[in-house]
Amino acid sequence: MTASSPTDRRDRPALAGHPTVRVDRVACTGHGVCASLLPGSVRLDEWGYPVVLTAAEGGVDDGESARAAAVRLCPAMALYAERRS
């Protein structure tokens, strides 16, 4: 078994899952655009800030194009698509 790395998590099923997004917490201003474009993997906390769900937490993949749209439209430029190889 190979050791896990940020890009290869095959040996750690709890962390492995679909490609997802990351939030720059400092830049995020809570418009909520990501949550409406990525309903499967992002939900908003009670203050309207995004919580990214991993597969283990019940998150589902919203698809490449939805992720790209969310990154492009984030008004605060606080969303990044996570690269997985």
Partner 1 sequence: MNELLWFVSRATGTASIVLLTAVLVLGALTAGRRSRALSQTVVVGLHRSLALGTSAFLLAHIGTAVLETYVSIDWVSAFVPFTAGYQPLWVGLGTLAFDIVLAVVATSLLRHRLSRRAWKAVHLTAFALWPLALVHGYAMGTANEPLLRLVPVACAVVGGLALTWRAVARHADQDRRQAILTQEWS
Question: Residue with structure tokens 């019940």?
Answer: 58
Q: Does 31 bind partner 1 (CB under 8 A)?
A: yes
CB of 58 to partner 1, least distance (A): 19
Residues in region 8-27 near partner 1 by CB under 8 A: 27
Cα dihedral angle (29, 34, 36, 42), rounded to 10 degrees? -110
Residues in region 50-79 near partner 1 by CB under 8 A: 71-73, 75, 77
Number of residues written out for the chain: 85
Stretch in the footprint of partner 1 (CB under 8 A) among 2-10, 14-22, 35-43, 60-68: 35-43
The Cα 52–Cα 59 span in angstroms is 8
Q: For partner 1, which residue of 15, 48, 64, 68 counts as binding (CB under 8 A)?
A: 48
Contact 34, 41 (CB under 8 A): no
Residues forming beta bridges with residue 23, ordered by sequence position: 79
Positions in the binding site for partner 1 (CB under 8 A): 27, 29-33, 35-37, 44, 46-48, 71-73, 75, 77
